[in-house]
Structure formats: structure tokens, C-alpha cells
């Protein structure tokens, strides 16, 4: 029987797919890394334009400095939220919104606290008072007639800051008839204030009651004028009442026109009887 010849077994080649995948992954990572390096070295990764809008009282340069960014800085180095938080720390800024537009453009929209009143300093400088209590010097030196003038307030009075905040929440139209607001604290009402109206009435209320009472004041004055009462003292505290001026003796009559009783509200300290008859519309006067 012939001897069988042994044929050597040819080994199967190992698959190279895994090695190819590793090489492709390495090349991909390499090119991505090169592209990222080139991108951050190019002008596309830099801030090229900063737009600031909405500011009327705050200089644009002050907002830019607070934002902490300048043209040429890295576009992705600082988040929009971080820029907003820095701008919000500025006085007079109520809110800020930062939007990034690739490539290189940043838009900053600022909302300032509204002007709620005006005041005159000891040296005669005219200033606008904002809802956060900050003050801004008026460049033109003129007082618009749509907001009251604050007199007799000290800058560190916490009631002044509270009043400004309340005024900021009141619609502008509701304050159109108010020409002046003065502090008039009492033992019963530490935050009591006196308001002079352009319709020749003196109104006593408190900062706490003001948001509620101010809405009722125009209708209340209109009802008095229908009864031919064109001046007097109005107390808007726990109980609203009114006492007209005695034009012959130049003093308050002390009789309420609404309730028939005394003009002194419950818990309120007595007020002097002698009161100026009226103030020309739009002007202010001392108590």
C-alpha cells in the first residue's frame, strides 16, 4: 500500500480589522486635535464684536468693564451666565441678558431700574431717583411732571429705599397727580408719609398702604370735587377720611366730610390745626 504524503497545513491569516480600526481611530483623533489647535489659534475663536443696548443712565463703558470681556478675548472662555451675573452687580441694573452669536459676536441687553421720583440736593443739584434707591444727576436740569419730588429725606433712611421700591411697582399713571412726597413718621406709623397733589390736596398715608391706597385716590378726589371740595386734607390709613380747609381762617375745619367724625385715624397722633390753605399746582411747599 503506497505511503500517503502529508500535505502541510497552511495557517489561516489573522484578521487585521482590529488593527485597522485602531489606526483609523488614531488618525481621526490626530486630525481633530490639529483642527482644534488651529481653530483656537485663529480669529474665529476670538471675540470680534460686543454690542450693548438698553442702557440710558449707565455709561456703555461701565457696562463693558463690568462684563469683564473685550474684543480679542476667547469666545468660549466665559459663559453668558457669568457675564450676566457680573453686570447685575452694577447699581441701577435690574436685569441683563447676554447672547453669543458665533463667530465672535456678543450681544448684551440691559434693563435699568425705572426712574420713580426726583430730588434736589443741598447744593441745588437735580437728581432722578430710581426704584433701587440709586440717584442719577439730571443733565438737562429739568423735572418732568409725571413723577413726584422727594423732599426731607436723608440718603440713609431705610424708609426712603422702601418707598422707592414701592413706587417702582406702581403704574406711572397712578402717580400723575402727586407732586411731592415727604416723610411724616409718627409713633403709630413709623413709615407715614405726606403727599401733595397737583389738585391741591394733602394726602396722609404710609409706605405700606401706598400700593393699595394710590389706586383709590383719583376716584376719591373726583368725588370730593363733585361736591365742590377743591382742597383739603385726606387721610388714607385704616379709615379713609377728608377734612376741608377753612378758607376764611386759613385752617383745617377738623370735621370729616365722609364720616362726620374727627379726622384723626385710630391710633394716630394728633396733627396741628393750622395748615396752609393750598399750594399752586405743580409746586412744593414745606410743612
Block means of pLDDT (10 residues each) for the chain, 287 residues, are: 60 64 81 79 84 92 94 89 95 94 93 93 89 87 79 93 94 89 94 94 95 90 90 84 54 43 38 36 37
pLDDT value for 251: 47
In CATH terms, are 43-112 and 115-252 the same topology? no
Measured distance CA(28)–CA(245) in Å, rounded: 91
Query: 43-112 domain in CATH 3.10.20.310?
Result: yes
CATH, domain range 115-252? 3.40.50.10960
pLDDT value for 167: 95
174: Cβ–Cβ under 8 A, 6 or more apart, which residues? 214, 215, 217, 218
Q: Are 134 and 122 in contact (CB under 8 A)?
A: no
Q: What is the pTM of this model?
A: 0.66
Q: How is the chain split into domains, by residue range?
A: 43-112, 115-252
Half-sphere exposure of 66 (CA within 13 A, CB side): 21
Cell numbers that stand for 89 in this block: 452687580
pLDDT value for 84: 96
Amino acid at each position: 500500500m503506497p505511503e500517503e504524503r502529508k500535505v502541510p497545513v497552511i495557517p489561516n491569516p489573522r484578521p487585521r480589522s482590529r488593527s485597522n480600526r485602531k489606526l483609523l481611530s488614531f488618525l481621526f483623533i490626530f486630525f481633530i486635535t490639529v483642527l482644534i489647535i488651529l481653530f483656537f489659534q485663529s480669529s474665529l475663536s476670538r471675540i470680534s464684536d460686543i454690542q450693548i443696548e438698553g442702557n440710558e443712565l449707565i455709561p456703555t463703558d461701565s457696562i463693558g468693564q463690568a462684563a469683564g470681556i473685550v474684543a480679542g478675548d476667547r469666545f468660549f472662555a466665559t459663559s453668558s451666565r457669568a457675564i450676566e451675573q457680573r453686570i447685575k452687580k452694577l447699581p441701577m441694573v435690574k436685569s441683563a441678558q447676554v447672547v453669543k452669536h458665533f463667530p465672535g459676536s456678543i450681544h448684551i441687553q440691559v434693563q435699568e431700574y425705572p426712574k420713580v421720583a426726583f430730588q434736589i440736593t443741598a447744593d441745588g443739584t437735580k437728581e432722578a431717583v430710581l426704584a433701587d434707591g440709586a440717584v442719577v444727576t439730571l443733565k438737562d436740569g429739568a423735572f418732568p411732571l409725571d413723577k413726584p419730588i422727594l423732599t426731607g429725606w436723608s440718603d440713609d433712611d431705610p424708609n426712603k429705599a422702601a418707598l422707592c421700591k414701592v413706587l417702582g411697582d406702581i403704574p406711572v399713571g397712578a402717580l400723575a397727580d402727586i407732586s411731592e412726597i415727604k416723610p411724616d413718621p409718627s409713633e403709630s406709623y413709623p413709615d407715614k408719609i405726606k403727599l401733595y397733589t397737583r389738585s391741591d390736596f394733602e394726602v396722609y398715608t404710609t409706605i405700606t398702604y401706598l400700593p393699595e391706597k394710590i389706586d383709590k385716590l383719583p376716584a376719591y378726589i373726583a368725588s370730593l370735587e363733585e361736591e365742590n371740595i377743591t382742597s383739603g386734607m385726606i387721610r388714607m390709613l385704616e379709615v379713609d377720611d377728608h377734612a376741608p380747609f377753612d378758607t376764611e381762617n386759613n385752617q383745617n375745619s377738623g370735621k370729616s366730610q365722609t364720616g362726620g367724625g374727627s379726622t384723626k385715624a385710630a391710633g394716630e397722633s394728633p396733627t396741628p390745626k393750622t395748615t396752609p390753605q393750598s399750594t399752586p399746582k405743580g409746586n412744593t411747599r414745606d410743612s
